[in-house]
């Protein structure tokens, strides 16, 4: 029988979404998007490291993952404490993936933004993201790991919006950072991408949508006509962490229902 050529070989795609034997750190993993990402990655076989500043939600999420048959550990750490965060990541040893999910927002008019607000939002959305990724990348390079870094961005990293000058600026910065990181780390086989969600229904965002005018305006900007779901975002993160996205780097995966398509 002749040897199979590349064109003759069967295409095996599903297995490229598996993360068996991989270790992935997720920041802001106690609730919301971070928790959903942790569950999805654990379901795909990864050992997930959950990082957040509060122990109680982390412990609850780790227990939930274990009950479902997954593997998780927790690290209580405020990511805005840069030196301590980098030390914590270094202690973990070489990781296969990092999901830079920790972030914050404080909507208010541009002319009312205080210096403290600006510094706080950039501190968590950009500075903490930068140095967590740096620490993870150093470990990957030292361990010879061709890993993946996913920075949780937003549709607001591609557009502007009222009362979101600082948030938009920080997410636009994250997009530029991600593209530059992709080039700096590409020679080491490390991929770097962003996931850019629209408004996602969570316990934290649900009160905003109790305002009928806000809800109507938001839905009018989403081509699919509905809010995003946690699973939508987690699935995009899984794709970017997994071998399935082996040639994807420096890219933004839009999970925005078409918000940025016009």
Q: End-to-end alpha-carbon separation of the chain, Å?
A: 54
Is 171 noted as a catalytic residue in this protein?
yes
Catalytic residue among 118, 146, 167, 215, which? 167
Nearest 5°: the CA angle 36, 39, 42 is: 150
Instruction: Tally the C-alpha atoms within 13 A of residue 144's C-alpha that lie toward its C-beta.
Output: 0
Catalytic residue among 118, 171, 179, 215, which? 171
Q: What are the φ and ψ backbone dihedral angles of 170, each rounded to 5 degrees?
A: -70, -35
Of 82, 69, 77, 97, the C-alpha closest to 28 is 77
Could you tell me the sign of the dihedral formed by the alpha carbons of 133, 167, 122, 82, in that order?
Answer: negative
Helix ranges (DSSP H) in the chain: 32-43, 55-67, 82-92, 115-122, 128-143, 165-186, 212-220, 230-241
Is 179 noted as a catalytic residue in this protein?
no
Q: Which residue in this structure is represented by tokens 């802001």?
A: 28
Q: At what angle do helices 128-143 and 165-186 cross, to 10 degrees?
A: 20
Instruction: Tally the C-alpha atoms within 13 A of residue 200's C-alpha that lie toward its C-beta.
Output: 20
Q: What are the φ and ψ backbone dihedral angles of 131, each rounded to 5 degrees?
A: -80, -25
Pairing relationship of beta strands 191-197 and 148-152 according to DSSP bridges: parallel
Give catalytic residues, as residue numbers. Answer: 167, 171
């Amino acid at each position: 029988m002749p040897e199979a050529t590349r064109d003759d070989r069967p295409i095996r795609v599903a297995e490229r979404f598996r993360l068996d034997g991989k270790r992935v750190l997720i920041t802001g993993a106690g609730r919301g998007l971070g928790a959903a990402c942790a569950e999805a990655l654990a379901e795909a076989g990864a050992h997930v490291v959950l990082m957040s500043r509060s122990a109680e939600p982390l412990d609850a999420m780790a227990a939930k993952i274990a009950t479902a048959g997954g593997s998780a550990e927790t690290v209580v750490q405020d990511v805005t404490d840069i030196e301590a965060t980098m030390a914590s990541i270094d202690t973990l040893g070489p990781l296969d993936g990092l999901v830079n999910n920790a972030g914050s927002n404080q909507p208010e008019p541009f002319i009312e933004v205080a210096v403290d607000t600006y510094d706080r939002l950039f501190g968590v959305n950009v500075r903490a993201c930068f140095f967590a990724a740096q620490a993870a990348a150093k470990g990957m390079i030292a361990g010879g790991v061709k890993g993946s870094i996913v920075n949780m961005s937003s549709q607001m990293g591609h557009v502007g919006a009222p009362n979101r000058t600082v948030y938009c600026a920080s997410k636009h910065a994250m997009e530029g950072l991600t593209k530059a990181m992709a080039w700096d780390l590409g020679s080491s086989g490390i991929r770097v991408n962003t996931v850019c969600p629209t408004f996602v229904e969570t316990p934290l965002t649900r009160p905003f949508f109790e305002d009928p005018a806000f809800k109507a305006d938001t839905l009018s900007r989403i081509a699919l006509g509905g809010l995003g779901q946690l699973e939508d975002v987690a699935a995009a993160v899984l794709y970017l962490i997994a071998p399935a996205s082996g040639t994807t780097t420096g890219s933004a995966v839009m999970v925005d229902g078409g918000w940025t398509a016009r």
